[in-house]
């Protein structure tokens, strides 16, 4: 009987066993695929929630406030009348906007240039092996690690016109006569703020560029040295082209960090004297939290965001074209 049943099964239902096995394999693959998707979203969900909560929502909220007449009363009532483009017209028509844009451009370009040149020089210097290399590099990270307000307060004391250590040192060395108003002169105040911001940003540029330099193969330098290539030519034809991707990251991040600097300027000069060190970021802060014109402050910050995006897009395109042409 058993042999007969087996024969009947094989003869009458030849495809049942393979079909069941195929359906079982498909089910297992679907379960594995679902499990992979759930794992994917489980890892991705915290990052998405963080971006939505701390980036997307504040940006959207800031854009909405820029089109409203938002005041202190609105903080309690939650009601803010629609103002259209009135806030944008107010900041563009103000007599400060043109000067603030120029000051922001000078502050950003000079700070980025100083940070990049000095940071690149230090990165090249520390790429060589010598005693206490790691210790000195670690010490140079202090300006970047210290709390910004604390380090800027120390700089304010150093640059004080009457009792500052810098004026006393320069006077003792007979380099300058009298007291130099580093923070009291409209022109020198901007220079002082730029120098302090360069001091703060050098470690960031040095660390990123140093990492890029360490990724360049040593064999290229050895082959160039055997061919009699000098250090300037090696830097021009080996170091700089291979460092270009890292340079792009440093420039974009440096621009974003520099154009939004507030704490250094507020502690040192407060944007003065005579608005000599007033930038777009500082003016946005003053409009929002000193004049309580939240709509105008939001509009100014939106202008700052647009400027940063335009710079990033233009630089990435220029860098891409230069990379493709090379």
55 within some domain: no
Q: Tell the residue number behind the tokens 């998405």, with chain if given.
A: 48
Question: Does a structural domain hold residue 291?
Answer: no
Q: What are the CA-CA distances from residue 183 to residues 39, 167, 191 (Å)? A: 56, 12, 9
Number of independent structural domains in the chain: 1
* CATH number of the domain bearing residue 267: 1.10.3720.10
Is 74 contained in some domain? no
Taking only the tens of pLDDT, the chain with its 326 residues reads 444 444 444 444 444 555 656 766 677 788 888 888 888 899 999 999 999 998 899 999 999 999 999 888 888 887 888 888 999 999 999 888 999 999 999 999 999 999 999 999 999 899 888 888 888 888 888 888 888 888 999 999 999 888 888 888 888 888 877 788 999 888 899 999 999 999 999 999 999 999 999 888 888 888 888 888 888 888 888 888 888 888 888 988 899 899 989 999 999 999 988 899 999 999 999 999 988 999 999 999 999 989 888 888 888 787 777 666 66
What's the pLDDT at 5?
A: 46
**Contact criterion met (CB below 8 Å) for 68 and 295:** yes
Question: Which of 100, 111, 102, 108 is CA-nearest to residue 280?
Answer: 100
Decide: pTM greater than 0.85: no
* Tokens found for residue 130: 């010598």
Residue 13 included in any domain? no
**Would you say residue 208 lies in a domain?**
yes
In sequence order, the 6+-apart residues with CB closer than 8 A to the CB of 69 are 80, 81, 82, 83, 86, 295
- Is residue 315 situated within a structural domain? no
Does residue 66 belong to any structural domain of this protein? no
Structural domain includes residue 138: yes
Q: Domain of 174?
A: 97-277
Question: 164 phi and psi, to 5 degrees?
Answer: -70, 145
Nearest to 282 by CA among 143, 109, 161, 108: 108
Q: 300 phi and psi, to 5 degrees?
A: -65, -40
| Residues in CB range of 38: below 8 A, 6 or more apart | none
- Please give the pLDDT value at position 325: 65
CA distance 213 to 245: 11
Token digits of residue 232: 């300037």
């Amino acid at each position: 009987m058993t042999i007969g049943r087996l024969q009947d099964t094989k003869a009458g239902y030849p495809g049942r066993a393979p079909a069941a096995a195929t359906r079982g394999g498909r089910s297992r693959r679907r379960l594995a695929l679902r499990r992979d998707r759930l794992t994917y979203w489980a890892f991705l969900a915290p990052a998405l929630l963080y971006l939505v909560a701390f980036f997307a929502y504040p940006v959207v909220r800031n854009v909405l406030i820029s089109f409203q007449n938002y005041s202190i009363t609105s903080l309690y009532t939650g009601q803010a009348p629609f103002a259209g483009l009135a806030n944008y017209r107010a900041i563009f028509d103000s007599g400060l906007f043109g000067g603030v844009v120029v000051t922001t451009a000078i502050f950003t370009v000079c700070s980025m240039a100083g940070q990049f040149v000095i940071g690149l020089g230090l990165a090249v210097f520390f790429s060589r092996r010598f005693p206490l290399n790691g210790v000195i590099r670690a010490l140079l990270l202090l300006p970047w690690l210290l709390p910004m307000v604390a380090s800027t307060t120390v700089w304010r004391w150093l640059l004080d016109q009457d009792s500052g250590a810098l004026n006393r040192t320069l006077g003792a060395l007979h380099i300058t006569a009298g007291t130099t108003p580093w923070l009291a002169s409209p022109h020198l105040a901007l220079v002082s703020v730029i120098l302090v911001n360069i001091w703060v940003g050098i470690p960031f540029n040095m660390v990123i560029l140093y990492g890029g330099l360490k990724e360049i193969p040593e064999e290229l330098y050895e082959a160039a040295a055997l061919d009699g290539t000098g250090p300037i030519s090696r830097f021009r034809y080996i170091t700089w082209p291979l460092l270009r991707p890292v340079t792009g990251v440093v420039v974009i991040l440096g621009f974003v960090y520099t154009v939004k600097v507030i704490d250094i300027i507020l502690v040192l000069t407060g944007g003065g004297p005579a608005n000599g060190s007033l930038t777009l970021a500082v003016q946005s802060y003053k409009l929002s939290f000193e004049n309580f014109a939240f709509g105008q402050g939001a509009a100014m910050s939106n202008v700052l965001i647009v400027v940063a995006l335009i710079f990033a897009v233009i630089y990435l395109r220029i860098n891409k074209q230069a990379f493709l042409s090379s």
